[in-house]
Structure 1
Amino acid sequence: MKKIFAAVTALAMGAAGMAAAHDFGFAGVLSNTNKGEMPGITLALGKPLADGPITLNSGMVYELEIYADGSGELALEGSGFFRAIWINEVVVNGLEIRPFGLESVEFDEEGTMEIEFLAIKPGRYFLKIPGSNGESQRVDINIE
């Protein structure tokens, strides 16, 4: 019995040492091979949020970069879109926030925010500046 225990312990120690020698990184949906590209959004008075609609693939990880130029207090809302994604993190000034969900974000001054998320629910969604009705103050997002 002692010989079996010693053999199992030696195997476990060898496997642990082998795993420590390799940097495997993330697996599955957060792996580097599962990342898609997404155009950024700019918040500026009188300027379009983005060029045309954005198409994403369900099951892919994206990073949305939102830049505000400081020309006014501007927000971005889109509860349908925020409910169709799983948010991994929101980064503001190097600070990482891991929220359960979002309804909207707001910029009181110039700055950049990055939202890393997993697109989940296929459908047609939008992000827009609250209270605006102009087509350029809204960006349509399709998750396929």
Structure 2
Amino acid sequence: MKKSTAFAALLAMAAPVAVLADDDDKPGFGMAGLLSAGNKEDLPPVILSAGMPLADAPWELKSGTYYEFEIQGDGSQELALIGPEFFRAIWIDEIVVEGLEIRPLGLDSIEFDEAGEMEIGFVAIKPGSYYLKVPGSTGETQRLEITIK
């Protein structure tokens, strides 16, 4: 009796392995859930240029959605963006600068000393109202309002 139980247990463990090894036609594990292509949206770029608006319109984001956007600096002036509350309400997947991928644990601000471009990929997490803005500025065009629903 014990031999047949042990044999049945071994057979049960080996069967799925044999089925998986023989079934090359089925797709393997891939990206799913939050990082799947169906859950990704591109946002309009943020433009860092002296005296120009950061964006055309406020962003309305959905919690749990993966977003990517570019920040483009034209080098007309040293300009930074701050938004610590926003950066703590999202999970940053990566920041790409000239092909270099950075995966930070967090972010407080960024600064462009010269012309350049970066791309940020993130998942919106915490619902609320946030902003990105040029530090020290008071104009509405130097502030991007962001809502996470």
TM-score normalized by the length of structure 2: 0.87
Deviation, structure 1 residue 18? 3.5
1:136 match: secondary structure: helix
- Percentage of matched positions with identical amino acids: 55
Deviation, structure 1 residue 134? 1.0
1:113 match: secondary structure: strand
Q: What is aligned with 1:125? A: 130
1:33 aligns with 2:41: no
Deviation, structure 1 residue 38? 1.4
Q: Which moved more, 1:41-50 or 1:21-30?
A: 21-30
Over residues 23-74 of structure 1, what are the superposed CA-to-partner deviations in whole Å (9 max), with x where a residue is unaligned?
Answer: 5421111111111231110000010000121111111000021110111111
- AA matched with 1:66: I
Aligned equivalents of 2:89, 2:78: Cα separation in 1: 26
Q: What is aligned with 1:66? A: 71
Structure 2: runs of 5 or more not aligned: 1-5
Q: Which moved more, 1:31-40 or 1:77-86?
A: 31-40
Over residues 94-134 of structure 1, what are the superposed CA-to-partner deviations in whole Å (9 max), with x where a residue is unaligned?
Answer: 11111001000111111111110000111110000111111
For the aligned residues, what is the CA RMSD?
2.0
Structure 1: runs of 5 or more not aligned: none
1:107 aligns with 2:112: yes
Aligned equivalents of 2:55, 2:91: Cα separation in 1: 22
Residues 109 and 27 of structure 1, relative CA distance in 2, 3 Å threshold = same
Q: 2:90 aligns with which of 57, 80, 85?
A: 85
Q: What is aligned with 1:44? A: 49
2:141 match: secondary structure: helix
In our comparison, the structure showing a higher alpha carbon Rg is 2
Q: Would you say how many aligned residue pairs link Structure 1 and Structure 2? A: 144
Q: Which moved more, 1:23-32 or 1:58-67?
A: 23-32
